[in-house]
Amino acid sequence: MAWAGMGYAPRTLLEELVRSKVVDVFLTTLTGRTIRFQCVTEPDAAQRTLLARVDLTLPSCLGQPWWADAAPEMS
């Protein structure tokens, strides 16, 4: 990773990326079924810079959407 200008400390990259979040999104259809998506939050400016330097991209969603039994209760 020295070529990215970060020395040999992958910890810097990991500390930045650990702030990324995966969010469960539940959508209820008109028929009453619930579709569940797992989405990744958008990286901030510092994360985008580091990702660009190491030529990585984060996915916007993980896997395929699937039918959930019911939407979770929000408390």
Least Cα distance to 10 among 60, 53, 73, 39 occurs for 53
pLDDT in tens, 2-13: 455 555 567 877
Q: Which residues contact 61 (CB under 8 A, 6 or more apart)?
A: 37, 38, 39, 40
pLDDT in tens, 15-66: 878 888 888 888 888 888 888 888 888 888 888 888 888 888 888 878 777 7
The 10 Å Cβ neighbour count of residue 37 is 17
Q: Any idea which residue has 């990773």 for tokens?
A: 1
- Using a cut of 0.75, tell me whether the model's pTM lies above it: no
* C-alpha atoms less than 13 angstroms from C-alpha of 68 in its C-beta half-sphere: 16
Give residue 33's Cα distance to chain centre. Answer: 25
